[in-house]
Amino acid sequence: MLTELLVLVLRDAGLDAGAAALEPASAGAPAADMHAVSLVLLAYPAEDAFEEWRRRCKALRAELTDATFAVVRPPEGTHAAMPEESEIRADVHMVLHSFSEAVSFASGSRAAEELRAAA
């Protein structure tokens, strides 16, 4: 549910956003679509799903070698028991702490992509 809300917030900010299950391209997503992905925002995993999240995250990173991976951590008390942030940092480029941070970061990423495309 939080993922769908984040997609709505990103779209309201004028960003091209969509939600998908944390699966590598070989698990069903067309490889051609994967080349257009420059930023992947992941939901913060629950403690009991951490190892599966980590496995899938690593597989997806292998498919999207040029993409930046960030995870959005929900506020304390709004989620089941969560792994320590230091454990998560091993699998992503950064940890964001709010939807506002995610929108700001994604907006900056879009601007950087547009500048690269114009060059």
- Checking if the pLDDT of 114 tops 70, the result is no
pLDDT band at 16 (very low <50, low <70, confident <90, very high): confident
Instruction: Please report the pLDDT score of residue 115 as a whole number.
Output: 44
Domain boundaries, the chain: 2-118
* pLDDT tens, residue by residue, 70-90: 998 877 766 678 888 899 999
CB 70 within 8 A of CB 92: yes
69 contacts: CB under 8 Å, gap ≥ 6: 40, 42, 57, 60, 61, 91, 92, 93
Q: At what angle do helices 2-12 and 99-118 cross, to 10 degrees?
A: 50
CATH fold of 2-118, please? Rossmann fold (3.40.50)
